[in-house]
A = this chain, B = another copy of it.
Amino acid sequence: MADVAWIAVDWGTSHLRAWLMDRSGAVIERRQSDAGMGTLDRDGFEPALRALVGDALPAPVLACGMVGSRQGWAEAPYATAPCPPPGAAQAVQVPGLDVRILPGVKQPRPADVMRGEETQIAGYLATHPGFDGVICLPGTHTKWVHISAGEIVSFRTAMTGEMFSLLSTQSVLRHSMGTGWDAASFDAGVDQAISKPEALAASLFSLRAEGLLAGLNPDAARARLSGLLIGAELAAMRPYWLGQQVALIGAESLSRAYADALAVQSVPCHSAGVEDMTLAGLTAAWTQIYGEAA
């Protein structure tokens, strides 16, 4: 594969994605595997990368995500907010290989960290020059990020996605949960949590009790649980979104749920795709090393 100029890699806890790139900045091929960082010890990274893109090596590699954590392939120490999203100059090289890893961002107070999202943010800023405002990245650990003058000013993390997963599949609520969706129940959950966030702890078990006593529809129960948790998150993150425009970078259905919840609060949203922004962020950093594509 002589025409591969470089390889963009998004390497998270549970996934490994690679894009073979040509000199013009176009994607030749996209590949992925489930060799996420969480499944690998330190000696496992190079074989996992070779298994996915060995035929395109020794093209240089630029990666982002948990691969740069202390438990990853090579630690890329956090940049400290306020700061621009880290670029190529802060990338760490894996010893002996033409593989560079972009660092994450930390915030000392209140303590918070991100790894991978900073590259999506860089991609958003590269594709939306001059953007000032709030970026929300919904996911397992949703990030809310205040952007000004090209810098990550401050950010907070809510564990909403992980809470939803644990409560809907591991807790007593799993007995009352379907796999579908009910938009009105989602909206009702958001409204309930955002108007009375202090009552959340008493409202979760009701999903089980209504299932037992009133035959609550399992899809409605699942959507209301999601609404309650996202509503509680919005209550906590009010300083971020109040009176703002919000750019959402997340999976399509999850971003839509956040956009619906924010619309009720009269917050206009714009959505961008995770993979598009990741690739744009990696490309922006790549360009910092090797100059503009021909």
Contact = CB atoms under 8 A, between A and B. Distances in A.
Given A106-B209, A162-B172, A201-B229, 6 more contacts: A157-B202, A157-B205, A158-B205, A159-B204, A166-B167, A202-B233
Contacts of A106: 209, 212-213
27 contacts: A106-B212, A107-B209, A108-B214, A111-B209, A111-B214, A112-B209, A141-B205, A157-B205, A158-B202, A158-B204, A159-B171, A162-B172, A163-B167, A163-B171, A166-B170, A166-B171, A197-B200, A198-B198, A198-B232, A199-B236, A200-B200, A200-B232, A200-B236, A201-B236, A201-B237, A202-B237, A203-B236
B172 A170 contact: no
List of 8 A-B pairs having minimum Cβ-Cβ separation, nearest first: A197-B198, A111-B209, A201-B236, A157-B205, A202-B236, A111-B210, A198-B235, A201-B233
A206 interface: yes
A233 to B, nearest CB: 4
Interface in A218-249: 229, 232-233, 235-238
A107 B202 CA distance: 14
A157 B166 CA distance: 18
A21 interface: no
Contacts of A204: 158-159
Contacts of A201: 158-160, 229, 232-233, 235-237
A55 to B, nearest CB: 35
A contact residues, range: 35 or more
A111 B213 contact: yes
Nearest to A144: B202
A213 B172 contact: no
A110 interface: yes
B166 A206 contact: no
Contacts of A162: 171-172
Contacts of A159: 171-173, 201, 204-205
A156 interface: yes
A113 B158 contact: no
Contact of A166 (B166, B200, B213): B166
Interface in A182-212: 197-206, 208-210, 212
Contacts of A237: 201-202
Among A198, A213, A236, the most chain B Cβ lie within 10 Å of the Cβ of: A198
A119 B179 CA distance: 36
A216 to B, nearest CB: 8
Interface string A99-130: 00000001110111100000000000000000
Contacts of A238: 198
